[in-house]
Amino acid sequence: MKAAAGGGGNKEGPAASVLRFVLLLMLPLTVLYILYTLHAILSSTPACTLEHDLVAAKANGIMAASHLGHYNNNNLTSSSYTPSSPPPLSLPPPAAMATTLHDVVFGIAASARLWEKRKEYIKIWWRPGGGMRGFVWMDRRPARPPSDSEAGLLPPIRVSSDTSSFPYTHRRGHRSAIRISRIVSETFRLGLPGARWFVMGDDDTVFLPDNLLTVLRRLDHRQPYYVGSPSESHLQNIYFSYGMAFGGGGFAISRPLAARLERTQDACIRRYPSLYGSDDRIQACMAELGVPLTRHPGFHQYDVYGDLLGLLAAHPVAPLVSLHHLDVVRPLFPDARSRSAAVRRLFEGPVMLDSAGVMQQSICYDESRRWTVSVAWGFVVTVARGLIPPREMETPARTFQNWYRRADYKAHAFNTRPLARNPCQHPALYYLAAARRAVARQGETTVTRYQRWRRRGEVRPTCRWKIPDPDALIDTVLVLKKPDPALWDRSPRRNCCRVLSSPNAAGHDGNKTMTIDVGVCEDWEVDQL
């Protein structure tokens, strides 16, 4: 019995076995942890890390150069290799070197067949005495050369070089697209000194030169830039490219990029004989050069039909740079005697007084009458019954149709809103009639006058609303606005408008004028209902 008891005392219990196993397992892990910690502390010294990185970089460079040199010796004619380094970062040009009109060269695509009609648009925006430089590139000399007096109002005319040797295989297009696509290169070859930007447009493209400069000054002309905008038609952008600047709306190419394009374009064009137009040929060459489109919403192709009212009354918060297809849409001002006369009214008034603010929308409310007021400065004022939120007012109304007539509103490349079906909800429209400069107590200001316009045969129905009809009370809208040439030097924001006075509800005192002030928003101002 004792022997049995003694033997049982020497035998290790289960608990002791587990404890010994855990200790044996933890011992090597602890040693490894201590060694790892010491290694991390010793290797975290900055000098050692820098020295190690330099040694590693040198070693990698030697190995890479050795490898590439070996590759060149075996596969290329050159036996030496010079690694390329990125170009130095260039800073934006100082204010003293700001881009002027003299630094921009225009290339205008035109045809002799349409020249007599289209030249009227160019006369409106071209500034022969303002340092502008550019050329009209035609397929042939016009049948009637411009007179001496007229020649001073237009850019010089040049005939494009022969492009019959270039292949063109698109069945529905015209090979004149090849000629037009080479205008930037041909203009560059003229070697005009001091040219920073080459701007391309059609003969029915209307540029706002000061606003164009505003856009270009924000970019470094020493870098390759391709600036423009795609189409308003989603289908057009699908058929061509969302990364393509549509030439009718105009686009700008910086001098370094124009130089590269001129060297490679002819070979590039030969590689794309099946493309339709000039715009996509330019974009194809830009893709080969690796330069993407820098989009700006102020370039307008206007691939639409109908009335531009909805688009221009809700213009993006960006400077208006160009207008196009003015022969296709209705005149900007419906009471103008011609399309060109409507554009001239815009330029001789608002563009001359405050180019930066043209078409810029402001939204405010006449709370006493529950009216919503929208001012597209220099163009139109709309007054609608009811309080409509800004989110809706800044969305273009569908006064226009898509370039593809069978397409519906979903084929636009932007949001739109339907026109009101209830006649009582139709806004009263007041188009620009006159513009002038005035001196007020606060300094120089502009006064633009807008007159009520009604469609022929339009009859406003009698609405049983408690909200008065602005059409019955207002005939004229006066808008006061200080010129603001530095508008786009600040962050984008809509201007604010304030209703200073409006006719009384009775309207028996003969005063049918609403007065509105438009200007920079104060910190506390919000376009709220």
| For residue 366, pLDDT beyond 70 | yes
Q: Determine the Cα angle at 441 with ends 438 and 444, to 5°.
A: 35
Q: Which of 385, 384, 487 is nearest to 375 (CA)?
A: 384
Contact 351, 479 (CB under 8 A): no
- 345-364 burial string, b = 16+ CB within 10 Å, else e? bbbebbbebbbbbbbbbbbb
pLDDT for the residue numbered 369:
92
Residue 177 backbone phi and psi in degrees, to 5: -60, -35
Looking at per-residue pLDDT, the higher value among 405 and 173 belongs to: 173
- Mean of the pLDDT values across residues 508-527? 85
Q: What is the pLDDT of residues 411-430, one digit of tens each?
A: 999 999 999 988 889 999 99
Q: Establish how many alpha carbons lie within 13 A of residue 240's alpha carbon, considering only the half-sphere containing its beta carbon.
A: 23
Report the alpha-carbon distance of residue 179 to residue 111 in Å, rounded.
11
- 62, pLDDT greater than 70: no
pLDDT for residue 8 is more than 60: no
Asked whether residue 372 carries a pLDDT value surpassing 80, the answer given is yes
Residue 5 has pLDDT above 50, yes or no: no
Percent of the chain with pLDDT over 90: 69
Q: Which amino acid is at 321?
A: V
Rounded to the nearest integer, the mean pLDDT of the chain is 86
Nearest to 299 by CA among 279, 278, 318: 318
Q: Which residue has the higher pLDDT, 174 or 30?
A: 174
What is the distance between the alpha carbons of residues 132 and 130, in angstroms, rounded to a whole number? 6
CA dihedral 216, 217, 222, 228 (to 10 degrees): -20
Convert the pLDDT of each residue in 79-111 to its tens digit: 344 444 555 555 555 545 899 999 999 999 999
Q: Quick one: pLDDT at residue 458? A: 79
Per-residue pLDDT averaged across 386-399, rounded?
95
Better-predicted residue by pLDDT, 525 or 294: 294
pLDDT at residue 93, rounded to an integer: 56
Kindly report, residue by residue over 486-510, the tens digit of the pLDDT: 999 999 999 999 999 988 765 556 7
